[in-house]
Amino acid sequence: MIIVLAGTPGTGKTSLAKMLSERYNLRYLSLTEFVLEKGIWIDYDAQRRSFVIDPEGVVVEIRREIRKVYRGVVIETHDLELLWEAGIEPLRVFVLRCRPDVLYNRLLRRGWPFSKVLENIEAELTGVLAWQAKVYFPRVACEIDTTLAGVNATVERIARNIENIEKDNTICQSIDWV
């Protein structure tokens, strides 16, 4: 069982993925941490404070890693194209969303440079991850709005969705900001 949590930074991937992995006894895998651990990055962009990855290396390593995970895994990522290229077939891809003004406050609290906060707000406004989900995982993708709900309520919503998949594979919700 592979569950994917995707979203702009600050939408709640780490918090929710860790809770879900405990609840269902699945492994937790952060794609960003994985890339850093494996050293599959080729450059560091100091201005943007982010690592530039080696996409081919990442795809090969993800494939290898996923084969080792028998019971299942909760993967958090902000790049669904990479998972698609690695041939991952998730049971569900949850795209976590957050209203940009609320996300702005969550990201400012991280002490990130203003330019990095704005870059991510823009990504959320334009719905990059939701778009990627619809392009790469159209049959299993759904959007979850985290703006007003607490972490616990959101985890319950996701759990209900997962547990209902076998009964009704159409329980997906889509939201639009524009």
- 106 part of the interface to ligand ADP, by CB under 6 A: yes
Alpha-carbon distance of 31 to 97, in angstroms, equals 18
Nearest residue to ligand ADP on Cβ basis: 12
User: Residues 120, 9: contact at Cβ < 8 Å?
Assistant: yes
Q: What's the sign of the alpha-carbon dihedral 107, 88, 177, 120?
A: positive
- 97 part of the interface to Mn ion, by CB under 5 A: no
Q: What tokens does 14 get?
A: 């780490």
Of 31 and 53, nearer to ligand ADP (C-beta) is 31
User: Residues 145, 175: contact at Cβ < 8 Å?
Assistant: yes
Of 60 and 145, nearer to ligand ADP (C-beta) is 145
Interface with Mn ion (CB under 5 A), residue from 6, 7, 12, 13: 13
146 binds, among ligand ADP, Mn ion, none (CB under 5 to 8 A by kind): ligand ADP
Q: Which of 70, 90, 89 shows the shortest CA–CA distance to 25?
A: 70
Interface with ligand ADP (CB under 6 A), residue from 15, 123, 125, 165: 15
Give min distance, CB of 99 to ligand ADP, in A: 11
